[in-house]
Amino acid sequence: MEAWKNKIMNSLDGIEEARPPKDGLLKVKEKIDQQKSKNLTKQPSQWMAVAAVILLLFCANIFVVSDYFKYQENAEQVSTSYSGMISNFNIYE
């Protein structure tokens, strides 16, 4: 049994390198080029996302500011129209 195990364990003696495929380097370069083109196409979409967020913030701010001024106008109108009613609080006199 020991001799057999030794034979198996020594079966890799004189092993040589395996040959890689001939077009391997070409495929590596293709993959690198694919990655580069992917990165290039990714960039505009990233900028589009940033631009969309900025636009959204800008619109939201305009809405808030315009809403604020509308509220101010309404508040002034209400205060003038009810000024007579609320000038005297002694309603039981």
Partner 1 sequence: MNDENLLLMEMASGNEKPLDYYYNKYAAKVYSTILSYTKNEEDAEELLQDVFVTLFDSANKFKNDASVSTWIYRIAVNKCLDFLRRMNSQKRKGIFSSFFSKDSGETIIEPIDFVHPGVKLENAEDAKLLFRVLDELTENQKTVFILTQIDGLPQQEVADIMKLSRKSVESLLQRAKASMREKLETFYPERGKHKKNTSK
Give the residues lining the site for partner 1 (CB under 8 A): 1-5, 7-9, 11-21, 24-25, 27-29, 31-32, 35
CB of 34 or CB of 72, closer to partner 1: 34
Q: Which amino acid is at 39?
A: N
CB of 64 to partner 1, least distance (A): 45
Q: Which amino acid is at 52?
A: A
CB of 40 to partner 1, least distance (A): 13
**C-alpha span between 36 and 41 (Å, rounded):** 9
CB of 38 to partner 1, least distance (A): 12
Q: Which residues, in sequence order, are CB contacts of 27 under 8 Å at separation 6+?
A: 21
Secondary structure letter of residue 3 according to DSSP? H
